[in-house]
Amino acid sequence: MTDAGQREATARLADRTRSLERSKIRVMFGLAEGADRDLVRLEVGEPDFGTPDHIIDAAAEAAHDGATQYTENAGIPPLREAISETMARESGVEYDPEQITVKNGAMEALSLSMMALAGPGDEVVVPTPAWPNYVNQVQLAGATPVEVPLPAESGFDLDAERVAGKIGPDTAAVILTSPSNPTGQVYDEEAVSKVAEVAEANDAYVIADEVYGRLTYDDEFRGTASYVDSPENVLTVDSCSKTYAMTGWRLGWLAGPQEVVDAVTSIGESTTACTSAVSQQAALAALTGPQEPVAEMKAAFAERRDFVVEKVAAMPVVSCPRPEGAFYAFLDVTDLPGGSFEIAKRLLRDYGVVTAPGDGFGDAGEGYLRISFANSLDRIEEGLDRIEEMVRAETE
Ligand code: PLP
């Protein structure tokens, strides 16, 4: 199509399509795809393990037994029951099964929550660096994302004063992601409580994205709604994706105040109605079956986390905050020439390592590269060796 033709075609699209920024992680993924050389892929945000066999078997059996049709919009009752029990056991948060709605991944749960809570004139506060989808989700809902850059000096800790300072009468929600993608930070409970208090005083909900909650390496994880003063003001989002290596099954959920959960279920009726019946059976098997595979994957991630931290500490110029959870390390490469995106592209072109540029996670991430340690120790070592080679070549 000619440029003019392309312009005319896009002019017919709704304005909201123009506000969307393409994720830089996907751009890097695109640049890497199809390359016929030995690339080390450290940009990927999903476990490198397969879904445990007993989950796959349960799903196949369920499909043969008739789990092939629509289900209740909020998910089948035994699954909502299992989610309620798992959340109480694993992160200490109490939600009745009726307060849970099952959706197509945390992604859909978040996206529908944004539509339920925020519209034109509303603001959603997003401390950054953060998973880039939030900003697009807020914009698609017609609301305004308000990024709050967290301080790099303290490893991107949740700075309660800074975040609270951006909460006001127009704030519909504040998104807190702990453990964080991309930094691996687990937020300090006191800081979260402070933010939650200010949010409540301004009639704004706290959206606690806890998809990495079961992947913490130092301390037991406690869900936000288990310790803040007003748990009824917290929406908790979680999924099977990262915990059970089930990204492709698209199974997540929202738990929260009844009116919000009902609104999300009701809006979801116009998008997908319910999530796949087979995936719901798979999730049921995941949550109620043996949890050893989760412990094994977590142990592997913990070992890799330690390896990455040690290896980065031995590099000249580069450093990273110690990830306390998730499977990402956020490397400070501010001493290399150019911005993160240029550095990431150079690293790919000249050294064959694919990373996610930090500015893709908000302005606060400029000067950083996110690497994922959802890869084998060998490949992580190879990738970090190549990064070190580039750092030495460019700085010595
Ligand atoms: N929230 C965060 C912080 C993520 O990093 C991701 C995926 O990378 C999601 C939500 C989406 O997870 P799901 O696969 O459950 O949609």
Query: What percentage of the chain has pLDDT greater than the value 90?
Result: 89
The CATH number corresponding to 53-288 among 3.40.640.10, 3.40.50.12780, 3.20.20.80, 2.40.30.20 equals 3.40.640.10
Q: Ligand 1 centroid vs 240 CA: distance in angstroms?
A: 10
Nearest of 254, 256, 260 to residue 225 by alpha carbon: 256
Mean pLDDT of the chain: 95
Q: In the predicted model, what is the mean pLDDT of residues 306-326? A: 96
Measured from CB, residues less than 6 Å from any atom of ligand 1 are 45, 105-107, 131, 177, 181, 209, 211, 239, 241, 247, 252
Q: Per CATH, is 3-50+293-395 categorized as 3.90.1150.10? A: yes
Q: In the predicted model, what is the mean pLDDT of residues 221-225? A: 97
Q: Ligand 1 centroid vs 328 CA: distance in angstroms?
A: 13
- Ligand 1: nearest atom to the Cα of 180: 3
The answer to whether the peptide bond before residue 149 is cis (omega within 30 degrees of 0) is no
DSSP sequence for 267-327:
HHTTTTSS--HHHHHHHHHHHHS--HHHHHHHHHHHHHHHHHHHHHHTSSS-B-PPP-BTT
**Is the model's pLDDT at 5 over the cut of 70?**
no
Nearest of 119, 126, 124, 74 to residue 101 by alpha carbon: 74
Pairwise CA distance, residues 198 & 2, whole Å = 52
Domain boundaries, the chain: 3-50+293-395, 53-288
Torsion sign (Cα): 34, 37, 38, 40: negative
Residue nearest to atom 12 of ligand 1 (CA): 106
Q: Ligand 1 centroid vs 350 CA: distance in angstroms?
A: 30
Q: pLDDT for 46-95, tens place per residue? A: 899 999 999 999 999 999 999 999 999 999 999 999 999 999 999 999 99
Q: Provide the whole-model pTM.
A: 0.96
- Ligand 1: nearest atom to the Cα of 45: 8
Residue nearest to atom 8 of ligand 1 (CA): 45
Confidence tier at 1 by pLDDT (50, 70, 90): low
